[in-house]
Amino acid sequence: MPTEERPLRRDAQRNRDLLVTAAREVFGCAGLDASLEEIARRAGVSIGTLYNRFPTRVALIEAVFLGPLELSAEHAERAAEFEDPWDGFVYFLERSCETQAADRGFTEVCSRSFPDAPAMDAVKERAGETFRKVICRAQASGQLRADFRLEDFDFAVSATAHPQWRRHLAFLLDGFRAEAAHPLPDAD
């Protein structure tokens, strides 16, 4: 039986929303190590209130980014349903780049692990498993090079977490096509 969630008082709910909004902005610009006092300031709320609502930094991070992570998992599911497997593969990469290029906080959420926020890691796991299917389909159809691995996705996206992501993802995709593949170095 999980802990019973009592509803927040009206003012508390309002402040919570202000905090999450402010955190989204600040994390988005300055990353997950941004100052919590800055977030409280921007929310127009005292630092004590922030700690009342979110006892740890990770709790606040989860409140901000669990939604976006779930959206990402949905993108993966949509990608798996594309008629053309390559198009699905490209679709998911594009959505991922798009999101991460616009939000430094989200980029860091995707590349770190959060033992204290199992819900986040679970969603990431789920999205990863779905994308694995996308990869397999694209390889089975002969469009994606056979030596592409799930872990290479992290590289692809982190490489393009910047404003010119469309151009640079295009380079990467040209390198990912089966027709372009030259043998990879043997080192693991």
Applying CB under 7 A, the residues found at the interface with DNA are: 6, 8-12, 15, 34-38, 45-49, 51-53, 55-57
**Which range, of 17-25, 50-58, 82-90, 172-180, touches a second copy by CB under 8 A?**
172-180
Residues 89-148 that bind a second copy (CB under 8 A): 145
> How many C-alpha atoms does 125 have within 13 Å on its Cβ side?
9
Considering CB distances under 5 to 8 angstroms, the limit depending on partner class, which of a second copy, DNA, none binds residue 52? DNA
Minimum distance from CB of 37 to a second copy (Å)?
Answer: 19
Helix residue ranges, H only, the chain: 10-30, 36-43, 47-53, 57-80, 85-101, 104-111, 118-140, 151-159, 165-176
Tokens describing residue 119: 């819900």
Cα separation, 103 vs 98, in Å, equals 9
Minimum distance from CB of 100 to DNA (Å)?
Answer: 23
Nearest partner of 93 among 147, 161, 27, judged by Cα: 161
DSSP calls for 53-95: H-SSHHHHHHHHHHHHHHHHHHHHHHHHT-SSHHHHHHHHHHH
Measured from the CB atom, the residue of 5 and 83 that comes closer to DNA is 5
Measured from the CB atom, the residue of 46 and 141 that comes closer to DNA is 46
Considering CB under 8 A, how many residues would be counted as binding a second copy?
A: 26
Tokens describing residue 14: 């309002």
Residue 174: how many other CB atoms lie within 10 Å = 10
**Which range, of 14-22, 35-43, 96-104, 155-163, touches a second copy by CB under 8 A?**
155-163
Considering CB distances under 5 to 8 angstroms, the limit depending on partner class, which of a second copy, DNA, none binds residue 79? none
Residue 30 found at the interface with a second copy (CB under 8 A)? no
Residues binding a second copy (CB under 8 A): 145, 152, 155, 158-160, 162, 164, 166-168, 170-177, 179-182, 184-185, 187
